């Protein structure tokens, strides 16, 4: 084989290997980015529900128990209290103070 052609072939082979390495790196970055985006959205969507369950619901239950309202009458989305029910709870709490 001609030395010039052999040198060009080796350069081409080195470029192909480098290209393959860069493409693998890009794909790996895309996968990690997609995974991190999914995790971030899960946190963004699940955190408010968790915080409501842990902190706000016991307070609302306590206030409604003190005011004599039943907590089983929640008719809002996903069983959450409606704005009218929250307003009634706040008004009854203010009147007891």
Q: What is the pLDDT of residue 57?
A: 85
Query: pLDDT under 70 in the chain at which residues?
Result: 67-77, 97
Phi-psi region of 76 (alpha: psi -120 to 50; beta: other; left: phi over 0): beta
pLDDT reported for residue 70: 55
Per-residue confidence (pLDDT) for residue 46, from 0 to 100: 93
pTM over 0.85: no
Rounded to whole angstroms, how far apart are CA atoms 64 and 88?
9
């Amino acid at each position: 084989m001609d030395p010039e052609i052999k040198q060009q072939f080796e350069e081409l082979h080195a470029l192909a290997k480098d290209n393959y390495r860069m493409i693998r790196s890009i794909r790996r970055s895309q996968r990690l980015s997609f995974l991190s985006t999914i995790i971030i959205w899960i946190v963004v969507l699940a955190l408010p529900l968790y915080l409501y369950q842990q902190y706000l619901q016991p307070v609302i239950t306590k206030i409604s128990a003190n005011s004599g309202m039943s907590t089983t009458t929640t008719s809002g989305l996903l069983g959450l209290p409606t704005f009218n029910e929250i307003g009634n709870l706040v008004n009854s709490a203010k009147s007891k103070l």
